[in-house]
Amino acid sequence: MGLEEDSEQQQAVDVFDLLPDALVLEIFNRVQDARSLSACMVLCKRFGDLATQTDDVSLEIIRRNKLPENGDSGWHTNKSKAFFGRFIMNPIQSLLHRMFSRKSKACSHCNSDDEEDDTMFRLPDELLKNFKEIRSLSVKLPGHDGDISSENGSGALLKWKAEFGKELESCVILGATGFKKSESKLKNDGDESGKNDESSPAPLESRNLTSKQLKKRVVWTISCLIASSARHHMLKKIISLNPMIRDVKISDGSKQGTIRMTERQVVELREDVSSTTVVDVEAERTKVPAVTIKMWYVPVLELPESGYVMKGATLAVIRPAVTAVEKDDDVSLAMGAFDEKCMGEAVRKLIEKKKSYTLEMNSF
Over the stretch 63-89, which tens digit does the pLDDT of each residue have? 655 444 454 444 444 544 454 455 555
Average pLDDT over residues 114-125: 48
Among residues 222, 231, 241, the alpha carbon closest in space to that of 261 is found at 231
Residue 173 has pLDDT above 60, yes or no: yes
Dihedral angle of Cα 92, 74, 194, 185, to the nearest 10 degrees: 80
Residue 101 has pLDDT above 50, yes or no: no
Cβ neighbour number for residue 140 with a 10 Å cutoff: 16
pLDDT (tens digit, 9 = 90+) per residue, 256-278?
999 999 999 999 998 888 887 65
pLDDT (tens digit, 9 = 90+) per residue, 220-256?
999 999 999 999 998 888 888 888 899 999 998 888 9
Q: In this predicted structure, what is the pLDDT of residue 197?
A: 42
Average pLDDT over residues 179-203: 52
| Contact of 184 with 262, CB cutoff 8 Å | no
Cβ neighbour number for residue 98 with a 10 Å cutoff: 16
Q: In this predicted structure, what is the pLDDT of residue 328?
A: 64
Whole-number mean pLDDT of the chain? Answer: 76
Which CA distances in Å does 169 have to 27, 91, 160, 276?
36, 22, 14, 20
pTM: 0.72
Residue 176: which H helix or E strand, with range?
A: strand 168-176
